[in-house]
């Protein structure tokens, strides 16, 4: 596999709210956008030219509303799009209530990847080695996607 020294050219946008993210997605609608949270897989694929460079790269890390890991006895566990593998693996509630998920996320890649990579990205990347997916399936997890509506 050939790695280039630099990433391809693209516009970089880091919205601070969901509304700003939607505006970035709506701008220049025919333009190809790529959205990411951790970027651990996407940035390597861009650098190696495995995927075509988007016109605009939208980094979700600045959206505080997506950074959560909450437990509620009635609603269960809620994992935001920006929750890292490390946060999930180290969560006392996850270890107590969802041991398989804690173990799966603890085994995901190196420490650097666990600190940067997100559970949402692990799901979206859709590779057979996605260590968070089997425990999520076992616990009948649901994905909630947000949009303007």
**Band of the pLDDT at 6, cuts 50, 70, 90?**
confident
CATH code assigned at 43:
3.30.43.10
Together in a domain, 130 and 86: yes
Together in a domain, 36 and 55: yes
Tell me what pLDDT residue 30 has. 66
Q: What is the mean pLDDT of residues 5-10?
A: 85
Count of structural domains within the chain: 2
Q: Which residues contact 57 (CB under 8 A, 6 or more apart)?
A: 10, 11, 12, 13, 33, 34, 36
Together in a domain, 51 and 84: no
Which of these three, 29, 47, 62, is where a domain ends?
62
> When comparing pLDDT for 87 and 125, which is higher?
87
**Band of the pLDDT at 3, cuts 50, 70, 90?**
low
Residue 59 has pLDDT above 80, yes or no: yes
């Amino acid at each position: 596999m050939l790695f280039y020294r630099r990433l391809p050219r693209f516009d970089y946008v880091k919205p601070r709210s969901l509304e700003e993210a939607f505006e970035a997605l709506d701008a220049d609608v025919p333009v190809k956008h790529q959205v990411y949270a951790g970027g651990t897989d996407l940035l390597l694929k861009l650098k190696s030219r495995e995927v075509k460079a988007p016109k605009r790269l939208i980094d979700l890390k600045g959206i505080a509303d997506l950074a959560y890991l909450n437990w509620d006895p009635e609603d269960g566990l809620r994992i935001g799009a920006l929750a890292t593998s490390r946060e999930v693996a180290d969560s006392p509630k996850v270890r107590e209530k969802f041991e398989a998920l804690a173990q799966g996320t603890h085994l995901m890649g190196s420490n650097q990847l666990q600190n940067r990579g997100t559970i949402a990205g692990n799901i979206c990347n859709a590779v057979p080695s996605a260590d968070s997916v089997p425990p999520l399936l076992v616990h009948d997890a649901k994905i909630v996607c947000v949009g303007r509506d």
